[in-house]
Amino acid sequence: MSEKTRVPTAINGGPFGQAWSARADCLQSLTGVLLGAFLLVHMHFEASILLGKETFYRFVQVLEGGMFSATGHGWPLVTQIFSVFILVIVVVHAALALRRFPVQLGQWRALRGFMSNIKHKDTRAWYWQMITGFILFFLVSAHLATMILDPKIGPHLSADRVYNGHAWLLYVVFLPVVLVHGLIGLYRVILKWGVSNNRSLIRTIAQVLMIYLLCLGSLSLITYISIGSELTLPVQPFIPK
């Protein structure tokens, strides 16, 4: 009697088969949703500068654990640790997304040919999500590296970084790219996991969110630039009255 040897394949759910792929899809969606939720919260936190320097200052102190400090001031270390955590999620998400990237010239040609012959909105959305995802890996890494190496934030310090540190050049590109990638991603996750099948409604909500967040982010960036242009060097941290 011959002994059968079980070889891991896509049929029996080996390490590179269907079971692994399903788990990877779940983890990719989960990390994507976490990053999307963080984006929404983070943009509104940054937009608190629109309510005044003191409001933004108070938000910073709360998020950095100021309520646990005897002086009421937060710890920049909290920002560093959280930035490292987000960077880890970004790396995991990007690594899982790379499974879907075309890696050969023939695959790119087939994709472009398909997109030229069949006008499929979701395929085009996936294409632009892939392109923006590739760009974001570098932009997000640069942004988070800045927060890890220099975690001090506040009305004056953040405005100084944006204006005198020329970080606005990064954010002008970063803002539309991250919104396109994030909102397309949330749209696809909702459809993929059956949260809703109403594509038209989800697209409309995504488009409205896109316009809203783009306006919110642009106004915030303009405000930081305006504050930064009025600062005198060396920049002193903002002190509330």
CATH number for the domain harbouring residue 113:
1.20.1300.10
Asked if residue 51 lies in contact with residue 115, where contact means CB atoms within 8 angstroms, the answer is no
Distance between CA atoms of 169 and 39, rounded to whole angstroms? 19
* Residue 222 domain-assigned (yes or no): yes
Percent of the chain with pLDDT over 70: 86
* Residue 240 domain-assigned (yes or no): no
* Residue 11 domain-assigned (yes or no): no
Q: Specify the number of domains making up the chain.
A: 1
Asked if residue 227 lies in contact with residue 161, where contact means CB atoms within 8 angstroms, the answer is no
- Annotated binding-site residues for heme b read 42, 93, 143, 181
The yes-or-no verdict on residue 25 having pLDDT over 90 is no
Token pair of 138, please? Answer: 């570098």
* Residue 131 domain-assigned (yes or no): yes
* Residue 3 domain-assigned (yes or no): no
Pick the closest to residue 82 from 137, 24, 32, 42 (CA basis): 42
Asked if residue 61 lies in contact with residue 78, where contact means CB atoms within 8 angstroms, the answer is no
The yes-or-no verdict on residue 47 having pLDDT over 60 is yes
Per-residue pLDDT tens for 166-190? Answer: 999 999 999 999 999 999 999 999 9
- Annotated binding-site residues read 42, 93, 143, 181
Alpha-carbon distances of 217 from 18, 45, 93, 150, rounded to whole Å: 40, 10, 24, 22
Pick the closest to residue 127 from 105, 89, 100 (CA basis): 100
* Residue 6 domain-assigned (yes or no): no
In the numeric block, the tokens 């990877």 are attached to 24
Asked if residue 16 lies in contact with residue 8, where contact means CB atoms within 8 angstroms, the answer is yes
Per-residue pLDDT tens for 105-135? Answer: 666 677 676 667 777 777 788 888 889 998 9
The shares of helix, strand and coil residues in the chain, as percent rounded to the nearest 5, are: 75, 0, 25
* Residue 31 domain-assigned (yes or no): yes
* Residue 13 domain-assigned (yes or no): no
pLDDT at 72: 63
How much is the average pLDDT of 15-30?
A: 78
Pick the closest to residue 171 from 146, 150, 154 (CA basis): 146
**Most confident segment among 14-18, 85-89, 116-120:** 85-89
Distance between CA atoms of 171 and 214, rounded to whole angstroms? 12
Distance between CA atoms of 117 and 92, rounded to whole angstroms? 34
Residue 212 domain boundaries: 23-229
